[in-house]
Amino acid sequence: MSPVPTWYQTAVFYELYVRAFQDSNGDGNGDLRGAIQRLDHLADLGVTCLWLLPTFPSPLVDDGYDIADYFGVHADYGTVEDFRALVEAAHARGMRVIADLVMNHTSDQHPWFQASRRREAPYDDYYVWSDTDQKYEDARIIFLDTEPSNWTWDKVRGQYFWHRFYRQQPDLNFDNPAVQQAMFDIARFWMGLGLDGFRADAVPYLIEREGTNCENLPETHAYLKQLRAFMDAEYPEAILLCEANQWPEDVRPYFGGDPDDPTVLGDEFHMGFHFPVMPRLYMALKRGDRTPVVEIMGRTPSIPVNCQWCMFLRNHDELTLEMVTEEERHWMWREYAPEARMRLNLGIRRRLAPLLDNDRRKIELLNSLLFTLPGSPIIYYGDEIGMGDDIWLHDRNGVRTPMQWDGSANAGFSDADSLYAPVISDEVFGYQRVNVVAQKADPASLYHTLRRFIAAYKSQPALALGDLRFLDHPDPALLAFERSYEGKTVLCLHNLGEHDVRVAVPDGQDMLADAPVSAGEVSLPAYGYRWLIQ
Ligand code: BGC
């Protein structure tokens, strides 16, 4: 008997980048008060949980994932009280809020690191120091374009320090019980502001061991289980969402429980991103062949009944191609990132709409898969209106440009003369054309399509909670599957090809058109999709 589904298993998430959302004080940066002013847009869309990107004091070398103070808010974004007000305002509109918990590393400007380099107690052992840079050589480098090594020499201490990301982000030493405890204190502080949980950043890398690739180690899992036990004891309604960019079989242990028995409750993370399915959605679409999606879902283990995957099409990072083969990566780069500037590390720094040639049919098709495959959907801010990108901006900033609210100056984002990043203003994706006000006024817009998806998704628990069964069809362009839950089945049909596909269906109801469908053959046009409930 399954437990009663909990809120996160049926949630619709929205990834909100505070800096890009709304500037309330005219300084050119979005801020927490500005985000509050825009919450009605998200409630109207049907979002049920916000995920806030980091808003901590930070030198912003990694856009806030380099934290200089875990107990504050960056002055550009407001104050801790503003943070509390944002959480309360979201709650008042029926939306929950989770935020990033960045455990693996701090900024090199964090006082802990400054004290550690001077070997000051008790921070001496807060980071991973070594006399040699020859340790842990089996660990890959993640920010390949920038970092030649995971070790950087610190002349103050006269030792190397370990970092999985930028050299300005030294890794904390999770073998140190004081660090382990400090993270609980940080979690408690933010939960005290009313949060509903955390997206735990970069968790595979917490602990290092010689002779391993330093990812997903048993010691890391042991600590994460302690974190979960702490959260369950103090905040039983809250969730932990795991960011582990790994193969499905390596993500499975992050849910905990018993790998052979999904009825045993998970005791590590409530949720985990499904990274590998994401590039395969793009691959399947470009090839007009369902195989990559069917294969990766077939390789996805079942998870405990109290857990849920998180699905996404894009996020604030490059579209990662770490979880594909080398050959597939090069194929993806050729197809989706023909210009060198579109590539970054092992990925592609482009947004959803430009990746899909701004073809409304393809954008809807991938969104349809986002809402019908297992896992809670996450919408990346701006993708609900098909925003564009600026590949010429530094690092991943090109997919983090100001939200396009209306056709007025600065897209209605800010009154300032100069913004943290330029608004997109090209002919195709410019705010003059692509903005929230215009799309709300047009019942045929992408915004309204997504709004209908969300309403339909919420009306039918099978889409969130149902079992998955793929159907066979002679045409590889047809990606058809059933989602079944408590006697209801939704048949989801997707045509990945540019030709019509005919498929036999039973009697049912078209959930999106809200019209009956009689048994017989239906024809799906190029990139067409249907959600049929029986
Ligand atoms: C975040 C990135 C960040 C990295 C290091 C990732 O998981 O999504 O934006 O650069 O962690 O904190």
The DSSP-derived string for 24-78 is SSSSSS--HHHHHHTHHHHHHHT--EEEEPP-SS---TTTTSS-S-TTS--TTT-
Rounded to two decimals, the pTM is 0.98
CATH architecture of the region 465-533:
Sandwich (2.60)
Residue 65 CA to ligand 1 centre (angstroms): 6
Is the model's pLDDT at 154 over the cut of 60?
yes
Amino acid occupying residue 358: N
How far is residue 48's CA from residue 192's CA, in Å, rounded to a whole number?
20
The pLDDT, as a whole number, for residue 409 is 96
| Token pair listed for 254 | 């992050």
Residue 466: CA count within 13 A, CB half-sphere: 25
Is the model's pLDDT at 2 over the cut of 70?
no
As a whole number, mean pLDDT of residues 249-268 equals 97
Residue 343 CA to ligand 1 centre (angstroms): 17
* Cβ–ligand 1 contact at 318 (below 6 Å): no
Q: Please choose from 165, 206, 322 the residue to mutate so as to test ligand 1's pocket, defined by most ligand atoms within 8 A of CB.
A: 165
DSSP state of 219: H
Q: Please choose from 317, 394, 399 the residue to mutate so as to test ligand 1's pocket, defined by most ligand atoms within 8 A of CB.
A: 317
As a whole number, mean pLDDT of residues 320-335 equals 98
* Cβ–ligand 1 contact at 208 (below 6 Å): no
Which pLDDT band holds residue 274 (cuts at 50, 70, 90)?
very high
- Which protein residue's CA is at the shortest distance from atom 12 of ligand 1? 65
Phi-psi region of 159 (alpha: psi -120 to 50; beta: other; left: phi over 0): beta
* Cβ–ligand 1 contact at 201 (below 6 Å): yes
* Cβ–ligand 1 contact at 143 (below 6 Å): no
Tell the CATH superfamily of the 104-173 domain: Oligo-1,6-glucosidase; Domain 2 (3.90.400.10)
Is the model's pLDDT at 1 over the cut of 90?
no
Q: Is residue 55 a contact partner of residue 64, using CB atoms and an 8 Å limit? A: yes
Residue 518 CA to ligand 1 centre (angstroms): 48
How far is residue 179's CA from residue 136's CA, in Å, rounded to a whole number?
21
User: In sequence order, what are the residues at sequence separation of 6 or more whose Cβ sits closer than 8 angstroms to the Cβ of residue 377?
Assistant: 12, 13, 311, 312, 370, 371, 457
Q: Is residue 345 a contact partner of residue 351, using CB atoms and an 8 Å limit? A: no
| Token pair listed for 49 | 């949980």
* Cβ–ligand 1 contact at 202 (below 6 Å): yes
- Which protein residue's CA is at the shortest distance from atom 2 of ligand 1? 317
Pick the closest to residue 377 from 51, 56, 19 (CA basis): 51
Instruction: With residue 364 as reference, give the H or E element that holds it.
Output: helix 360-372
Q: Which long-range contacts (CB under 8 A, 24 or more apart) does 94-97 make?
A: 94/43, 94/48, 95/39, 95/42, 95/43, 95/47, 95/48, 95/49, 95/50, 96/7, 96/11, 96/48, 96/49, 96/50, 96/196, 96/197, 97/49, 97/50, 97/51, 97/52, 97/194, 97/195, 97/196
Instruction: CATH 3.90.400.10 in the chain: give the residue spans.
Output: 104-173
The pLDDT, as a whole number, for residue 5 is 72
Instruction: CATH 2.60.40.1180 in the chain: give the residue spans.
Output: 465-533
Using the atom order of ligand 1, give the atom closest to the CA of residue 105. Answer: 12
Question: What would the pLDDT profile of 198-246 be if each residue is shown by its tens digit?
Answer: 999 999 999 999 999 999 999 999 999 999 999 999 999 999 999 999 9
- Which segments of 235-359 does DSSP mark as H helices, in order? 248-251, 277-287, 291-298, 326-336, 352-355
- Which protein residue's CA is at the shortest distance from atom 10 of ligand 1? 62
* Cβ–ligand 1 contact at 65 (below 6 Å): yes
As a whole number, mean pLDDT of residues 70-86 equals 98
Q: Is residue 194 a contact partner of residue 237, using CB atoms and an 8 Å limit? A: no
Using the atom order of ligand 1, give the atom closest to the CA of residue 201. Answer: 7
Amino acid occupying residue 19: R
Q: Does 3.20.20.80 match the CATH number of domain 10-100+350-459?
A: yes
Catalytic positions, written as ranges: 201, 243
Residue 53 CA to ligand 1 centre (angstroms): 10
As a whole number, mean pLDDT of residues 338-361 equals 98
Residue 368 CA to ligand 1 centre (angstroms): 27
Beta-bridge partners for 241 = 199, 271
Instruction: With residue 488 as reference, give the H or E element that holds it.
Output: strand 488-495
Q: Please choose from 17, 62, 66, 143 the residue to mutate so as to test ligand 1's pocket, defined by most ligand atoms within 8 A of CB.
A: 62
Q: What topology is assigned to 177-312 in CATH? A: TIM Barrel (3.20.20)
Residue 158: CA count within 13 A, CB half-sphere: 1
Is the model's pLDDT at 179 over the cut of 90?
yes
Give the chain's end-to-end CA distance (angstroms, integer). Answer: 23
| Token pair listed for 385 | 């209106």
Q: What is the DSSP string of 145-194?
A: TT-S-SEEEETTTTEEEE-SS-TTSPBB-TTSHHHHHHHHHHHHHHHTTT
Is the model's pLDDT at 3 over the cut of 80?
no
Instruction: With residue 514 as reference, give the H or E element that holds it.
Output: none
| Token pair listed for 344 | 């970054």
What proportion of the chain, given as a percentage, has pLDDT over 70?
Answer: 99
Pick the closest to residue 34 from 46, 52, 48, 47 (CA basis): 52
* Matching residue, tokens 């330093």: 214
Q: Is residue 410 a contact partner of residue 492, using CB atoms and an 8 Å limit? A: no
Residue 151 CA to ligand 1 centre (angstroms): 18
